[in-house]
Structure formats: structure tokens, C-alpha cells
Amino acid sequence: MSLGGEKSFKMRMRDMENAFKYRRIPYPKRSVELIAILAISCTFFLFMHTNKLNSRLKEMEIKLQPSEFSALGLTGNQISPRESSRRDNINTLHGTYQYLKSTGQLPYLTPESVNQTSKAQIEIVLFNRVPKVGSQTLMALLNLLSKRHEFEARRDMPSPMETIMLTKTFENNLADEIMEKGEGTTYTKHVAFIDFGKLDLPWPIYINLVRHPVERLISWFYYVRAPWYIAERVRNFPGQYKVPTIKWLKKSFETCVLQHHEECTFTQGEEHSLGDHRRQMLFFCGQNRELCMPFNSYQAMQRAKRNVENYYSVVGTWEETNITLTVLEHYIPRFFSGATETYYQAKNRLHHVNRNSIKPSVSQEVREILHKNLTNEIEFYNFCKQRLYKQYIAIKSLRQEI
């Protein structure tokens, strides 16, 4: 074969190779449409299942949140700088609603998800009341409601010294006394949370009230100095109550804090001074002295939160009167149906009980000192308010804007 013929052959082979390499095979029009439809269908299928999976994961995340840390699933360490500016907002009804909405929790918030009354094993309401939160008002309301709903509203016998932390024997005796009252009763006493499960007794319907810790301390300070209070103690407990000095009675809260008097010095972790009721969390933490007694303790706060979340049907506050009454009516209707109507019919009479007539103003300086010493007490108080708001939002029809 000649050289020219060989080149010609190679060129022909290259042309054939290029033609094969860049060939275009025509497809019928119907096949193209079928492939397009198939691609769209696969994309839609994946989108639907991904969206469904995302919703289920969000629901699981919300259900598995460590609720003992906060009613809204937050801890101080988990708050981003952007969220921290909204912190105070979260502690309002509207702020709680917006937070639940923005975090995707609102669709999964139902009355059943925040209702602990159904877990009670006996129809007895136990109000282990905190001092200076308006407990006398709720007791008076219970007395009125008992006539309306035919139940027994009972309380412990008054004593010169309240026993908040109980010995094992006293705890067992008190628990048995509460159970002996029988179903269809309410029982009220200043006492720290009792774990009925550990005593092999049925769980009652726990309720309580809270108040801002700073306001509680101020209220307590002037409450024990009120003339009517002293006269009442002398009359009810002759020879057992020591009448205070004039100097002590005239002392102002402002002076007490700024001059570091013992009763107004709030030492972190302190395990004494039970008599001034400075520990609101203690009433929810329980009968574990080592864990619950240290003042403003983080561990006591966590236990108190957990107990509220798991065992209390309602923890209300008179700072949110209508919300508290509405939640009590909805979650404990056997005892509190019509509570709002009854309350407002007798409002003046109810609030006249145990009210401080003299309570001088307290400076911002002193309030800031108290805030710094009550950090965990205040966080617990806000936790209880957030939980109350969640219960209220859960029962609002159609989840309307609040």
C-alpha cells in the first residue's frame, strides 16, 4: 500500500471515529416527556418525605427537651446573644406565645401535653402553700368554691412555728392524715413538697402559687412587723410568742439591707434562717434537707423545676389573676369550675385577708442588691410563669394571636 493510500485510510478511520463519538441519537417526543414527568415525580416524592421527616424530628425534639431546665426548654447557657435580648420578653404571655410560635413548638402544644391533673391518683387537692404569695386569698376562694361544688376545704392547725421540713415520722403522719381526708377534699399547709410515690401512697392533685422573690422578701419583712399580726400571735399563742422590741419593729427594709443586718443578708448556700421564708424554691424542691436547704442553690432550683413539671397541676400567681383562674378552671374543673366568677363576686372580701397595710417603697439600689442574691430563685419564678402561660395558650381556641 502506498503512503498516500495509508494516510487516506487513517483519515477515513478518524472521520468514522469522530462521527461515532459525536453521534446524536434522536429520541421520540413521548420519551422525553415521560422522563421529565418521572423526574418531577421523584423530586416531589423526596420533598414530601423530607418535609414529613423534618416535622417528625421537630416533634421528637420538642418532646425530648429536658423540661426540668425551663418551661421553654432553655437554660442560661443555651441562650444565644440574639435570644438574650428577648429574655425578659419570654417571661410575658405575648413573649411566650411568640417564642413557641417562632421555634415551631406551638402546633404540638395541646391541653393534654401540659396537663398533670390526669396523672393524679386520688381526688384530693394538696395546696402546700408558699408564704406571702397570696395563699390566704386562694384559701378563702377554696372555702367559697367548696360550698358551690360540695367538697371539704381543710387546712392544718395553726402553730407558733411553721414546720416546713419534716422528719420521716412527721412526713409519714402528715401524708396519712391527708389521705384520710378522703376524695373530694382540699388540704392546705405551709410544707415543702412531699413525694407520695416514695411513701407508697397515691399522688394527690398538687397546686401552688408563686410571687416575684424580691416582692416576697419585702412583703414578709413588713408582714411580721404588722400590729395586727403581732396581736394575733400573742392572742393565739400566749406564752409561746416573744413580742419583738420597738427598735426591731421600726426598722425599715432599706436600712436592714444596706446595713447588712442578719435578717437581710442573703448568703449564697446558707442553710439556716428558715424562719424568714426566704426560700420559695424549697416548697417545690422537697424534703431533702441537704439538696433543698442551701439558699439560692442551682441544684435546688433544678429539683424544684422538675417537681413542678412532673407533679403540679397548676402553679399560678396573683400577678396574673385572670390567667391563673382560667387555668385552674380548665385543668381542675371538679374543684375550680366557676372560680373566676366566684373570685370577682367576692374580690374585696378575699383580698382583705392578710394584706400588709404599711409597706414603704424600696429603692432601686436595694432591689438590684436583692436581684444579684436571688438569681436562681428568680429563674425558678420565671419558669413557673412560663409554664402557666403555656397552659393558658394551650387551651385558647384556634391558637389566636395573644
Mean pLDDT, consecutive 10-residue stretches, the chain (402 aa), reads: 54 62 54 63 60 49 42 49 53 91 90 93 97 95 96 88 91 96 95 97 98 95 90 86 90 95 92 80 96 96 97 97 97 97 87 65 95 96 97 76 58
Running DSSP on this structure, what letter comes out for residue 85? T
**Residue 205 exposed, middle or buried by CB count within 10 Å (0-12, 13-18, 19+):** buried
CATH domain 112-399 topology: Rossmann fold (3.40.50)
- 111 phi, psi to nearest 5 deg: -55, -35
Query: What pLDDT does 173 receive?
Result: 96
Dist. CA 66–CA 75, nearest whole Å: 10
> Contact, 302 vs 68, CB < 8 A?
yes
List the domain boundaries for the chain.
Answer: 73-108, 112-399
Query: What pLDDT does 15 receive?
Result: 64
Query: What pLDDT does 89 receive?
Result: 75
Residues 284, 319, 379, 300, Cα dihedral to 10°: -10
117-160 confidence digits (pLDDT tens): 999 999 999 999 999 999 999 999 999 999 999 999 999 887 77
Q: How many CB atoms lie within 10 A of CB 341?
A: 12
Query: What pLDDT does 311 receive?
Result: 97
Checking DSSP bridges between strand 124-127 and strand 152-155, what pairing results, if any?
Answer: unpaired
Cell numbers 417571661 correspond to: 91
Query: What pLDDT does 355 receive?
Result: 62
> Contact, 383 vs 308, CB < 8 A?
yes
Query: What pLDDT does 363 receive?
Result: 95
Query: What pLDDT does 76 receive?
Result: 40
User: Which stretches within 252-374 are classed as H helix?
Assistant: 253-258, 282-285, 289-292, 298-311, 321-331, 333-336, 339-345, 347-351, 364-373
Query: What pLDDT does 73 receive?
Result: 60
- Known catalytic membership, residue 190: yes
Query: What pLDDT does 81 receive?
Result: 41
Determine which one of 149, 190, 212, 261 is catalytic: 190
**Residue 321 exposed, middle or buried by CB count within 10 Å (0-12, 13-18, 19+):** middle
Q: How many CB atoms lie within 10 A of CB 331?
A: 21
Query: What pLDDT does 197 receive?
Result: 96
